[in-house]
């Protein structure tokens, strides 16, 4: 087997899928990229058994089609140091010894039998929908941070994708915070729901932002398949039933606080430095046109207090929040102003951005309160 390829193009393709590689693989072959050499076409695959990602690229030249597994780390490290030039790969089909020629350099490494690489799942009879890559990237960005990481509650460690004939929703929660991102411009022929693991979604997120194309999502009972341009990603779905998240979203919220997002975020960042570093508790004291943020750490005699202007409708109230969770919410909101809706100091607060421009999108964020120390 032999092929010639641009070093820069190959590195770019490998980097697009290298995020799938795991540092603690159960199978040594999964430390490799699988190269499937065709007629002037190369398909490269990376897998950790749960997620499989492949990319196709054109070759300058190829002889004798075949497959070989090439160690990922040494190949990536070598390509990163090369300028943009043609690289010739020669593979011995008997022992899978690999020779790379690049400019004046000659490099040898040991490959492995590509037949040992796990088989890639194929799309069976399933359902599908099409979504724009920028839209999908935004949906992932706005939700994936809120997913849990508790192994005992695996369903909550993923993003719940609800599909219906008039909209689709992405939901993530870890029981302390919840985000629901809805698109009304994307629809499904079938009303159903699946739970997507966060690792492949995070991997997709970075690649999707580099493109503005349609992404085809196909799904069966056990797998989801994402296809766009020359990239294909397959991931195992999380099994089980997602918790009834609607039950925790309060519907009666008479107290409404409208405030500029950036000043609030900066204020919380400063005040939270003085909070207890185990609870991260920050106090919101709201009355009339004034919001007072305060935090203290009694053990170290640390204390901070800041006042902000706001618009508030409702009864004066005090409520405590985890400042880390609140900052995550605000960091993942784009609008200049937000509304925080509350009912009581022991009930969840709802955070929604004020966005009059995009009628096709709706986002709701929920953060649970913390018990205030009086």
Q: Is residue 121 part of a domain?
A: no
Same domain, 33 and 53: yes
Q: Is residue 177 part of a domain?
A: no
The CA distance from 100 to 227, in Å, is 31
Q: What is the CATH number of the domain that holds 96?
A: 3.10.150.10
Looking at residue 374, what is its pLDDT? 63
Same domain, 234 and 259: no
Same domain, 217 and 290: no
| Per-residue pLDDT reduced to its tens digit, 49-83 | 999 999 999 999 999 999 999 999 999 999 999 99
Q: Is residue 63 part of a domain?
A: yes
Looking at residue 125, what is its pLDDT? 74
Say if residues 242 and 160 touch (Cβ distance below 8 Å): yes
Q: What contacts 335, CB < 8 A, 6 or more positions away?
A: 261, 353, 354, 355
Tokens of 312: 């508030």
Residue 40's nearest CA partner among 74, 83, 4, 11 is: 4
Same domain, 340 and 273: yes
Domain count, the chain: 3
| Per-residue pLDDT reduced to its tens digit, 221-271 | 999 999 999 999 999 999 999 999 999 999 999 999 999 999 999 999 999
State which of 116, 136, 153 marks the end of a domain: 116
State which of 73, 89, 116 marks the end of a domain: 116
Q: How many helices and strands, by DSSP H and E, does the chain display?
A: 6, 28
CB atoms within 10 A of CB 266: 13
pLDDT at 126 over 80: no
Which structural domain, as residue segments, surrounds residue 68? 2-116
Q: Is residue 143 part of a domain?
A: yes
pLDDT at 356 over 70: no
CA dihedral 184, 189, 194, 200 (to 10 degrees): -70
Q: Is residue 91 part of a domain?
A: yes
- DSSP conformational letter for 22: -
Q: Is residue 178 part of a domain?
A: no
Strand order of the sheet with strand 255-260? 192-197, 158-163, 168-173, 177-183, 361-367, 349-353, 337-342, 255-260, 311-313
Say if residues 46 and 6 touch (Cβ distance below 8 Å): no
């Amino acid at each position: 087997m032999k092929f010639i390829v641009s070093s820069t193009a190959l590195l770019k393709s490998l980097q697009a899928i290298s995020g799938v590689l795991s540092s603690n693989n159960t199978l040594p072959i999964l430390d490799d990229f699988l190269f499937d050499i065709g007629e002037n076409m190369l398909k490269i695959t990376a897998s950790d058994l749960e997620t499989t990602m492949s990319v196709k690229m054109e070759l300058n030249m190829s002889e004798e089609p075949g497959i070989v597994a090439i160690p990922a780390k040494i190949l990536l490290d070598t390509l990163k140091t090369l300028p943009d030039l043609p690289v010739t790969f020669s593979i011995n089909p008997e022992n899978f010894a690999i020779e790379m020629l690049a400019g004046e350099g000659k490099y040898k490494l040991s490959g492995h039998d590509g037949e040992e690489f796990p088989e890639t799942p194929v799309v069976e009879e399933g359902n599908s929908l099409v979504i724009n890559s920028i839209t999908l990237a935004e949906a992932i960005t706005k939700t994936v941070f809120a997913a849990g990481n508790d192994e005992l509650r695996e369903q909550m460690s993923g993003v719940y994708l609800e599909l219906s004939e008039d909209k689709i929703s992405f939901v993530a929660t870890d029981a302390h915070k919840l985000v629901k991102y809805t698109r009304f411009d994307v629809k499904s022929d079938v009303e159903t729901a699946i739970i997507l693991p966060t690792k492949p979604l995070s991997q997709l997120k970075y690649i999707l932002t580099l493109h503005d194309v349609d992404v085809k999502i196909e799904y069966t009972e056990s797998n989801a398949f994402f296809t766009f341009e020359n990239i294909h990603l397959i991931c195992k779905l999380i099994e089980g039933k997602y918790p009834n998240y609607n039950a925790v979203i309060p519907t009666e919220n008479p107290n409404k606080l409208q405030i500029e997002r950036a000043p609030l975020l900066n204020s919380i960042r400063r005040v939270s430095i003085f909070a207890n570093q185990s609870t991260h508790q920050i106090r919101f004291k709201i009355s009339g046109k004034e919001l007072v943020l305060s935090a203290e750490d009694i053990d170290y005699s640390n204390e901070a207090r800041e006042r902000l202007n706001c618009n508030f409708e409702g009864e004066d109230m005090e409520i405590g929040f985890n400042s880390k969770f609140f900052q995550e919410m605000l960091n993942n909101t784009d609008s200049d102003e937000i509304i925080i809706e509350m009912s009581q100091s022991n009930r969840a607060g709802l955070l929604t951005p004020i966005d009059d421009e995009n009628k096709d999108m709706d986002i709701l964020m929920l953060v649970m309160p913390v018990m205030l120390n009086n």
